[in-house]
Structure 1
Amino acid sequence: MRTKFGSVVYRADRKSYRAKYTYRGEIITKTFKDQLSAQAWLNNERSRVEADKAGITKWTSPTERKRQKTAIERRRVLFCDYVMEEFAPTWLEYAADGSELAAGSKRKHREYLSHLSHADFWKYPLTGITTEDINRWLSNLDNFNGGATPRKKTFQLLKAIYAKAVAEGAVTKSPVTMKAPAVPKSRQAQIPPATAEELQTIYANMPSTTRIAVWLGAILDLRIGEVVSLQVQDWNPKTQTLRVCHSADEHGGLKATKTATSNTTQPVPPQLGKLISEACNGKQPTDFIVTCANGSRITPNRLRDHFNTAKVKAGRPDLHFHTLRATSITAAVATGASLKDTMVWGRHADAQTSIERYQRASGTERMREIANGIESNLMGHEATEEELEEAIRATKKRLEELEAQLAALRHQNR
């Protein structure tokens, strides 16, 4: 049906009516289910065109009108509504790769979201928040009682929210243009790694069913949750490898490792392999390698208690079980491990963690060893009387240890 203004055409193939008109070189169309609705729309468009010709109101295409309407609606959207309706539902439950977050990570995400909800701009329009608003918020974060890490994580949450808003066209650009708040190095990160002698003392002073945990942490770089979750079936004595595929959840059950990179198969050196085989002897495949004295599964907290009691006897009350990971990295660097080796061995999810661990392990003391070695090679060195006496004492001690090992081995082979 043609009219003085445009047309309405029935499309039998789609069982619909298409209204159409041309104005200012643009062909404007819209499809409807019935003829009356199509004609009503066409009449409304004719009124807009006539108003434009009369200089009353400026004509814009339906597409441009929709774009303007959307922009107005977006300006009315509050930041809090966008966060809770568009961002939080996914962010609170899932990681960037689509995998479901662990219970602990979900709890942390809720914590960071709660911190953000106390910002002055929480109920501002999404498009109305300025860089100045965020800078004022950051200055108040100096008194934030949640700690340096939650402060930085909350800022990163804000940045991620605006990154999504920009990508979706909800805002034209992000007001989050500043750097994230700095996080000072934790006290735990400054704890010196354990020495071989200290580890031996800790090992000797732990119960027989849990002492192997010391070497699993210090040699294989395992976290305490991974240690208590190792099962007999994870140990392959033929290939001398240990599969690390679980950690401990907060209810005592098994969960996935902390990160995807943590899930791996570690090569096991011979002495530790012998200890693991002894710990697995007589057990079923699904039994745990590190256990309580009665053979039941041990929790991370209980194992930590065993470790904490023994570390005092080693004269290292400052140690944490997690320090054993730094001990492992330090020993790896001492054997010549590169930064790339450290990243693989440490199973870190991000390179920055490996870089920090590597730099620390190859720091001042390592540089002093290198300097001393260069000097010795280039200048030579005449030992002092004290140095010779100390070398003799160390040699005698080492000789006694070797004789004791030899005697024990001969007794074992009789």
Structure 2
Amino acid sequence: MTPKLTFGVFADGYVRRHRRKDGAEIAGSTLRNLRNDIKHLKEAFGDVKLAELTEELVTEWYYGPHPNGEWQFRSECIRLKMLLREACAPGSKGAPPLLAENPFTLPIPPEPEAGSSDIPPVTPDELYHIYNAMPGYTRLSVYLAACAGGMRIGEVCGLMDMDFDLENKVLMIRRSVSHGADDLGPSRIGRLKTKGSRRTVPIPDMLIPLIRMHLEDRPDQSNHMFFQAKRGEILCQNTLRNHFMKARKAAGRPDLQFRTLRVTHATRLMLDGSSLKETMDALGHVREETTLRHYLRAVPEHQREAAERTAAYLLSADPSLAIASLPPAPAGLDADGDAGDMAALALLLGQVSTLMAGIAARNSQPAG
């Protein structure tokens, strides 16, 4: 064990050593979030010698104030536990562990309720108004994100003309746009968020003419980027996000995020008959929990329709209920006319139903 090694020095080394599961360097928002977590943890434990970081110190921090919010606290707990787990593992070339046991023994806090989970999906009318309020050179992004693969904003910015197979009506999602491994500087083409994010999705027929028109109208036909930036070589996420934030006001939905288009895509796929696996494949997910917890929304109108269809099926054997559920008689019929006949017929059928149920019950009794 290195008695003088502080938590802060070890944490800085952890950032430098940290890699993705496939061994590649972390980049973009992942690196930014890691550095942010370590920054807050160093504020709490930076000068503490790693060998003196006890369960009592961790517990005091855990139950203390966390002004950066529930999500940040949960992220810091996960990071601290992973960091200390590394300190408990044998070093390279057979070096002994820096810690005999992990002083983080408390549970990871549950995920707080995300505010975005309360944002309803986009309606057709809202989507149309957003589309028309977007600048001409980026407006197709909202239709593509909502209707073709539920793309993330970085995936939309990374689209190239070669990704569109209009003959077979499929779109190949192969890359994303970020600020690179250091999360600084100009936008550049990078890898997708996960291996599952690499996918091929159907292009709806209604979008084919718009895609052809967009391809023809691009100012620089030698530039293979589908959405061409006004400045620089690559459309950055912030530019597209700002376009969307301004356009959403035209739809009267200042609560919308670009991510809501992805949520809308997932929700509509499920409501319109896609299986969970098909929806996961469209979004590029590998875990069911991710799709169910973060991307599906309840739609009140569909809940009402589903409840009505369920009741109509389960209660279809009761003739009195079937008659009662018929639409009301047209206005103008008096009580002694057709409306009265309908009421009498409903009453008669109800009595017949009750009589038949009684006969069936008697017939089912064993002979005396």
Alignment of 1:29-48 (within 5 A): none
1:238-288 Cα offsets, whole Å, 9 max, x none, are 222112122222413222222232222222121123321221126647432
Instruction: Please say if residues 261 and 349 of structure 1, whose CA atoms lie closer than 8 Å, have aligned partners that are also in contact.
Output: yes
Amino acid at match of 1:188: S
Larger RCO (CA within 8 A; separation ≥ 6) = 2
Instruction: Please say if residues 131 and 139 of structure 2, whose CA atoms lie closer than 8 Å, have aligned partners that are also in contact.
Output: yes
60, 67, 82: which one aligns with 1:160: 82
Q: Secondary structure at the match of 2:187?
A: coil
Tell me whether 1:382 sits opposite 2:326 in the alignment. yes
Q: Secondary structure at the match of 1:354?
A: helix
1:322 matched to which residue of 2?
259
1:107 matched to which residue of 2?
32
Tell me whether 1:336 sits opposite 2:273 in the alignment. yes
**1:164 Cα deviation (Å)?**
1.7
233, 255, 259: which one aligns with 2:190: 255
Instruction: Please say if residues 79 and 122 of structure 1, whose CA atoms lie closer than 8 Å, have aligned partners that are also in contact.
Output: yes
TM-score (norm 2): 0.74
Change (3 A) 1:149 1:383: same
1:348 matched to which residue of 2?
285
Change (3 A) 1:285 1:273: farther
Change (3 A) 1:186 1:270: same
- The number of residue pairs the alignment matches comes to 307
1:187 matched to which residue of 2?
115
**1:149 Cα deviation (Å)?**
2.4
User: 1:300, 1:144 → 2: CA distance?
Assistant: 30
Alignment of 1:2-401 (within 5 A): 73=1, 77-85=5-13, 87-91=14-18, 94-119=19-44, 121-140=45-64, 143-168=65-90, 169-220=97-148, 221-250=150-179, 251-281=186-216, 284=221, 286-291=223-228, 298-348=235-285, 350-357=287-294, 360-362=296-298, 366-377=302-313, 378=315, 379-380=321-322, 381-384=325-328
User: 1:240, 1:101 → 2: CA distance?
Assistant: 34
1:139-193 Cα offsets, whole Å, 9 max, x none, are 22xx333333222222111111222223323333222222123342222221101
TM-score (norm 1): 0.66
**1:290 Cα deviation (Å)?**
2.7
Change (3 A) 1:132 1:247: same
**1:314 Cα deviation (Å)?**
1.9
Q: Secondary structure at the match of 1:174?
A: coil
Change (3 A) 1:129 1:305: closer
Contiguous gaps of at least 5 residues in structure 1: 1-72, 387-414
Amino acid at match of 1:245: R
User: 1:123, 1:285 → 2: CA distance?
Assistant: 55
Amino acid at match of 2:257: H
Amino acid at match of 1:302: T
Q: Secondary structure at the match of 1:118?
A: helix
Instruction: Please say if residues 242 and 266 of structure 1, whose CA atoms lie closer than 8 Å, have aligned partners that are also in contact.
Output: yes
**1:385 Cα deviation (Å)?**
7.7
1:301-335 Cα offsets, whole Å, 9 max, x none, are 33333333332222222211111011101101101
User: 1:187, 1:108 → 2: CA distance?
Assistant: 19
User: 1:363, 1:278 → 2: CA distance?
Assistant: 34
Between stretches 220-229 and 247-256, larger displacement belongs to 247-256
Between stretches 327-336 and 295-304, larger displacement belongs to 295-304
Contiguous gaps of at least 5 residues in structure 2: 91-96, 180-185, 316-320, 331-368
Change (3 A) 1:166 1:295: closer
Report percent identity of matched pairs: 30
Instruction: Please say if residues 55 and 104 of structure 2, whose CA atoms lie closer than 8 Å, have aligned partners that are also in contact.
Output: yes
Instruction: Please say if residues 210 and 292 of structure 1, whose CA atoms lie closer than 8 Å, have aligned partners that are also in contact.
Output: no
Instruction: Please say if residues 269 and 279 of structure 2, whose CA atoms lie closer than 8 Å, have aligned partners that are also in contact.
Output: yes
User: 1:295, 1:88 → 2: CA distance?
Assistant: 31
Amino acid at match of 2:326: E
**1:218 Cα deviation (Å)?**
0.6
**1:294 Cα deviation (Å)?**
10
